[in-house]
Amino acid sequence: MSNPIKDDTLTFIKPEPVNCKQVLKQVYDSLKEKGYNPVGQIVGYLTSDDPTYITNSNGARSLITKVSRYALMQELVENYISGLEDID
């Protein structure tokens, strides 16, 4: 008599952590390469959640959508604030 219970094990692969700074740099470079205003396009994406602000060139749109907008904004604000501390 065979065992009617299937013992299939599901395995999950944990995605690699995404470095916000690297993502922003790659997206910035791709936008600049295509002749866009990178700052304006990234701000448009962050404020609207519309990925069409980001070019598909070099996989930039796919890359930026792998990171939460909150994490991207947090990275930007933290870097901006740390730059202000150097002014004193």
For the stretch 34-55, pLDDT in tens is: 999 999 999 999 999 999 999 9
**Within-domain flag for 77:** yes
**Within-domain flag for 46:** yes
**Within-domain flag for 13:** no
Q: Would you state the structure tokens that stand for residue 35, as one six-digit string? A: 């002749």
**DSSP H helical segments within 1-88, as ranges?**
20-33, 38-48, 60-64, 69-85
Q: Using a pLDDT cut of 70, give the percent of the chain over it.
A: 86
Radius of gyration of the chain (CA): 20
Residue with tokens 């990234």: 42
**Within-domain flag for 75:** yes
**Within-domain flag for 3:** no
Q: Which range marks the domain in which residue 44 is found?
A: 20-85
- Calculate the average pLDDT of the chain: 89
Number of domains in the chain: 1
What pLDDT was estimated at residue 80?
Answer: 92
Q: Residues 41, 54, 17, CA angle at the centre, nearest 5°?
A: 110
This prediction has a pTM of 0.76
- Residue among 69, 28, 44 at smallest CA distance from 52: 44
